[in-house]
DNA sequence: TAGAAAAGTTTCCTATAAGAAACATTAGGC
DNA sequence: GCCTAATGTTTCTTATAGGAAACTTTTCTA
């Protein structure tokens, strides 16, 4: 009942299953109850081409795959699956309260959560936002991707480009494009505590 | 300073920028400080091919793109960008405490967060896990993807396949493969409250 | 500044993807 | 059972992706 051992030596060699792509696409099409004709039309490709792709009798171009992902609403990362040993398949990682991995900067004090799982796609962490004056707000933080925040305790102001500053208190949550400039300032006397989950 | 208006009529037509792919790849390569030769070798493709891809003089196959994403550690979803109007570019979405969208089942009571942003990739929600006996644990929940949970209040037991049951209390967090069977039971007298963020 | 080496681009050729149409297979109606 | 319609597969052809090598441009060094 112990975690699956993570073999560090094992290379992320070639694609796990050469038939993966076709299988995924066929599964998605049947899920929608579409025929080759219908799915092909939706994606703008011929039914013969689609047949060959689903049966892995061809190595489709990226364009074709992209059109299919759109038409079939496929989850793109699944198509790139990079094999078993190094991903999180069948694994879990716990971090008990206050046991996260500390990472401090001038204005933020982060506690990284679940850092054992290195190949996960979301990055959860808890930040203690030091109480300071709103006027102290400095530069925008920007990083490609999406971010979700949940206020655990305290009160703070979230600044984002294109929007008015937003006053938040415990229990409030925000989801935003993290490529858009953003930053927080605690407006309570004590420090504010926020849970973030970052993607990408 | 109002949110960018979301034009529902606007179709998610063709790829936004036909040169997007090449730009992303060149950017990633230069980020690593690699020459065409080096990057090509790492991905197992010729430098001439890579040159043409970066300059968008060719429509690469899916295989080639996948090899490049691995070698250059590219974030795959970025390659599929489905244009501007329907994605979350430059947007944010707030849900104040207790204002989520309710969604109840027999054993769980969910409150979906930030549901205005329909094209986001992570799905945050708060669940109230009703107090009941551990023996009442029923069937595994399974859904492709990854999941992060953070215990807001109460105490509960997390069951997951391949592992021993795990006792959790406020402030604890777990990250796991949600394709692996999982389920929760509140072990405190009162209901337990959990924040989940689901991906995929 | 010249010369050499390295990085990037273009040309040429072969292998193959993608679509059209022919062919095969399955499902339903009588 | 047979006939028909619909779905899926296999040719066949054309356009093009991908690699090798020739060519061009840039960078480094003396």
Residues A30 and A68 in one domain: yes
For residue B166, give the 3-state DSSP assignment.
strand
pLDDT at A174: 94
In a domain, A14, yes or no: no
Q: Are strands B166-169 and A108-112 parallel, antiparallel or unpaired?
A: unpaired
In a domain, B114, yes or no: yes
Residues A124 and A169 in one domain: yes
d(CA A178, C1' C4) / Å: 47
Q: Between vectors from CA B121 to CA A85 and to CA B91, what angle results, nearest 5°?
A: 145
Total count of domains within chain B: 2
Check A113 against B173: CB less than 8 A apart. Answer: yes
Check B122 against A175: CB less than 8 A apart. Answer: yes
Q: Are strands A173-177 and B92-95 parallel, antiparallel or unpaired?
A: antiparallel
User: Where is the domain boundary, B79, B110, B130?
Assistant: B79
In a domain, A181, yes or no: yes
B58 touches strand D (CB under 7 A): yes
pLDDT at residue A56 greater than cutoff 50: yes
In a domain, B54, yes or no: yes
Alpha-carbon distances of B150 from A8, A125, A140, B157, rounded to whole Å: 28, 10, 27, 13
pLDDT at A172: 94
pLDDT at residue B135 greater than cutoff 90: no
Residues A192 and A144 in one domain: yes
Residues B128 and B176 in one domain: yes
> Could you tell me the pLDDT band of residue A87, with boundaries at 50, 70 and 90?
low
Residues A56 and A136 in one domain: no
Nucleotides of D under 7 A from a protein CB: 6-11, 16-22
Residues A37 and A123 in one domain: no
In a domain, B24, yes or no: yes
pLDDT at B50: 94
In a domain, A145, yes or no: yes
Q: Phi/psi at A20 (nearest 5 deg)?
A: -55, -50
Check A59 against B60: CB less than 8 A apart. Answer: no
> Could you tell me the pLDDT band of residue A107, with boundaries at 50, 70 and 90?
low
- What is chain A's mean pLDDT, rounded? 80
For residue B31, give the 3-state DSSP assignment.
helix
Check A89 against B179: CB less than 8 A apart. Answer: yes
- Residue of A52 and B80 predicted with greater confidence: A52
Q: Any idea which of A52-61, B1-10, B164-173, B186-195 has the lowest mean pLDDT?
A: B1-10
For residue A30, give the 3-state DSSP assignment.
helix
Range of the domain at B24: 20-79
pLDDT at residue A131 greater than cutoff 80: no
B27 touches strand C (CB under 7 A): no
Closest Cβ opposite residue A66 in set B80, B163, B169: B80
pLDDT at A16: 53
In a domain, B25, yes or no: yes
- What is chain B's mean pLDDT, rounded? 80
Q: CATH no. for residue B112?
A: 2.60.120.10
pLDDT at residue B4 greater than cutoff 60: no
Residues B111 and B172 in one domain: yes
pLDDT at A154: 92
Residues B129 and B50 in one domain: no
Residues of chain A with Cβ-Cβ distance to B60 below 8 Å are: 61-62
Residues B74 and B117 in one domain: no
pLDDT at A117: 83
pLDDT at A178: 85
How many angstroms separate the CA atoms of A131 and B38, rounded? 48
Residues of chain B with Cβ-Cβ distance to A88 below 8 Å are: 146, 175-177
Residues A60 and A135 in one domain: no
Which of A65-79, B15-29, B49-63, B105-119 has maximum average pLDDT?
B49-63
Residues B47 and B110 in one domain: no
Residues of chain A with Cβ-Cβ distance to B114 below 8 Å are: 148, 173-175
A18 touches strand C (CB under 7 A): no
| Beta carbons of B112 and B100 less than 8 angstroms apart | yes
How many angstroms separate the CA atoms of A180 and B89, rounded? 8
In a domain, A10, yes or no: no
Place of tokens 């991905």: B43
Q: CATH no. for residue A33?
A: 1.10.260.40
């Amino acid at each position: 009942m112990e975690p699956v051992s993570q073999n560090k030596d094992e290379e992320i060699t070639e694609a796990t299953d050469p038939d993966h792509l076709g299988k995924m696409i066929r599964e998605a099409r049947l899920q929608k109850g579409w025929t080759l004709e219908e799915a092909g039309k939706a994606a703008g490709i011929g039914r013969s081409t689609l047949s060959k792709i689903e049966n892995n009798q061809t190595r489709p171009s990226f364009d074709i795959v992209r059109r299919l992902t759109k038409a079939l609403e496929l989850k793109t990362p699944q198509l790139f699956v990079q094999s078993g040993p190094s991903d999180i398949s069948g694994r879990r990682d716990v971090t008990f309260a206050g046991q996260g991995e500390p990472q401090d900067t001038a204005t933020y004090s982060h506690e990284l959560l679940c850092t054992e799982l290195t190949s996960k796609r979301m990055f959860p962490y808890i930040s203690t936002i030091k109480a300071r004056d709103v006027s102290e707000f400095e530069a925008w933080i920007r990083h490609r991707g999406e971010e979700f925040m949940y206020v655990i305790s305290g009160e703070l102001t979230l600044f984002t480009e294109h929007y008015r500053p937003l006053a938040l208190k415990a229990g409030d949550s925000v989801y935003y494009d993290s490529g858009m400039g953003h930053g927080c300032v605690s407006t309570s006397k004590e420090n504010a505590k926020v849970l973030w989950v970052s993607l990408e």
